[in-house]
Structure 1
């Protein structure tokens, strides 16, 4: 038996095939998650179509999930970061939303001060506990949208909430209706979706939310949360771990409009960026990120990474100002005191620094040979080399030519006597047992001494 799907105008299996299964015991999907072994990825070779939307967005959780793994930001720091997110977002508001805690006076003051700036983007949203008191707080602060935690795996339903599946849905829908009654758009955070029963809980629950939405004429957004980082992007992988499968199920079987679907990933298995990009490719409207990936445990999807993914997929930055990424990194390190690992893409101290002499020689001949893009133009980060025993004359010449403090020597050739003198000195350092790279200060001091002797 088939029926006409009103969204696709195609004959499909009726949605009522995906009914709630009100189990007596939790389904822990032990075939995927044995716990005393590494989780498994299984394949059934079911492929779903890519359906990337014309408009896709980034949302920010720096002030929510990003504050759950470090010391809280001050109100002033939140405002400063929010201003930079606005500039990064650009005139088209690609960084569309930023979510805030509301529990402390500091958090609420940050919301007030950010709102006073009058920015359209990022839109200010909140994250609250599912309680009447918290809803009233959102209403009092005149915030139009809030996230609500609705855990959807049996790990949470049975072992944290101590409910049956039907009881969880009844509890969640009651909360959602309370939110709507106060005129607030609910964003339901489907926690732990990559360990959930997609067809026998997630789809029936999401379909019920869509029924409530149609009845109340209020959007109900769904954030698919890969809470433990189990999601995979592999074609033909089985749910619940398949990101394409989850996106397809939410839209095709539960009827959630693409523009109401959001992905929130964690990096426990190094897949946060790949999974977020895959969610976009398979119909998700927004991916939720935090700056530099700072978040619970291994962190969230890095926001700056998704800016670059956006540009690669769309062929344009759509007005985003990527030089702000460097400003944010400097702010985090110099003002907040957050140490960014030196090799972190786009923002680490050494992300576009080479130590290999043969690479430095290539950089001198043509920067594009060993630089990923024009990092000086796009990130205000000119390509650099560090000097060690492997840098060679080419590396030393490039270091001098790219160092703004050596501007009077710009254009120096690798065979210049100064470069040869520096190389001899560096080689002696390492022959005597040195193991660390030469610092900029050491090299500048040597150059100043050399020039003074001439």
Structure 2
């Protein structure tokens, strides 16, 4: 049977409908996931169309998945971070939602205080277990949408839930009906999707969700969860690991609208950011993230990374305020006591920090040569040059000009005799066996004690 699809504006075959394959034994894809070996990436050379949605956005799980990997945030810390998310997301709400736990007194207090701020974005949603009693928590708090765990791989269905596929599907659908009955928008978290039987369980399950949606006239959302980071974005990769294949299959075969779809990826194989961007490109509107990527095991996709990925793909920040990212990183360090690895992109203390004398010389001539973009404008982070045995006079000149924020007419050249004196002192330290970077305070003390005329020049207003 042929039908003209308004979604693709083409004639499409609709004679095959995917139905549940209730297998007697779990399908564990052992050819890909032999537990004693590195997981394999298999190709079938099938390519699906790239189809970016009209609207893409970021969602956040800092207060849910992000709290599963560290000590819980205090109520005040949650409120402060929520304010940062609001400012960072801008007036268009590119950071669309953030989800909360609801189980403890502290969880409920944090939700209440964030609600009292009256922000439209990010919208507050929740996450609950797949049990009917939990919906009353959602309703009591006045939350309109909640995430529900729906494990979809045979690893989870057979080994964790001790069910068959049919039993699991029936239980999940029953929980969704309970949510719809009280008017709550359900968001199904398809756990371990990148090890699931996509056409034998996932597509039939989502098709059933779309039937319930049609009956209830309430949207049902789906979060595609790459729980162990097995997703791969290479062209022609076979399911269940293909990110393009999963997203295409959800909107094309399972009829799931892009705006009701989210990608949630983990970083076990360093693919969280690239997989999230790929999900956007192939038809998924939402990508789920956490601040600084903090989450289970290796973490989630970092929210700050997707702010810049969004701008790279759309050519605009759409009102997002990226300098807030630096404020967030400083808050984690100073107020929460979290140690941000120094070389972490965008937020680490040394992400735009150079130790090489050759690089410092280039930076001195033109910052654009060795800096990714205007980090001072976009992140309120000046380029920093370390002073060590490789810095040379150029590195010292850059450090002085940057540290003292010298305007163009006051900047020192690397040939300045006073800087050469500092270089001689630095060289002497390393010839004597030093092997660590020279700190700012050491340089300041040396200049003040040994080159007082330079100190007065640099510190005059």
Fold shared, TM-score > 0.5 on shorter chain: yes
TM range (shorter): over 0.9
1:377 is matched with 377
1:143 is matched with 143
1:218-273 CA deviation, whole Å, 9 max, x = no partner? 10000000000000000000010000000011000000011101000000000000
- The aligned length equals 454
How far apart are 1:404 and its partner, in Å? 3.1
1:402 is matched with 402
How far apart are 1:14 and its partner, in Å? 2.8
Partners of 1:182 and 1:451 in 2: CA distance: 75
Give the 5 Å matches for 1:30-41.
30-41=30-41
**SS state at 1:37 partner:** coil
1:415 is matched with 415
Following TM superposition, the consecutive aligned residue runs of length 4 or more in structure 1 with deviations greater than 4 angstroms are 1-6, 405-410
How far apart are 1:16 and its partner, in Å? 3.6
CA RMSD of aligned residues (A): 1.5
How far apart are 1:8 and its partner, in Å? 3.0
Cα 1:15/1:27, change in 2 over 3 Å: farther
1:165 is matched with 165
User: Contact 1:400/1:410 (CA < 8 Å) preserved in 2?
Assistant: no
1:288-342 CA deviation, whole Å, 9 max, x = no partner? 0000100000000000000010000000000000000000000000100110000
Cα 1:325/1:453, change in 2 over 3 Å: closer
Partners of 2:389 and 2:116 in 1: CA distance: 54
How far apart are 1:133 and its partner, in Å? 2.0
Give the 5 Å matches for 1:302-313.
302-313=302-313
Normalising by structure 1, what TM-score?
Answer: 0.98
Counterpart check, 1:181 vs 2:177: no
2:12 is matched with 12
- For structure 2, which runs of at least 5 residues remain unmatched after alignment? 455-461
Give the 5 Å matches for 1:272-291.
272-291=272-291
Give the 5 Å matches for 1:53-452.
53-404=53-404, 410-452=410-452
How far apart are 1:453 and its partner, in Å? 7.3
How far apart are 1:415 and its partner, in Å? 1.2
**SS state at 1:106 partner:** helix
User: Contact 1:15/1:253 (CA < 8 Å) preserved in 2?
Assistant: no
Normalising by structure 2, what TM-score?
Answer: 0.96
How far apart are 1:450 and its partner, in Å? 2.0
Partners of 2:395 and 2:409 in 1: CA distance: 15
How far apart are 1:31 and its partner, in Å? 1.1
User: Contact 1:153/1:192 (CA < 8 Å) preserved in 2?
Assistant: yes
More displaced stretch, 80-89 vs 416-425: 416-425
**SS state at 1:201 partner:** helix
Partners of 1:154 and 1:355 in 2: CA distance: 50
Partners of 1:316 and 1:405 in 2: CA distance: 29
Partners of 1:109 and 1:440 in 2: CA distance: 43
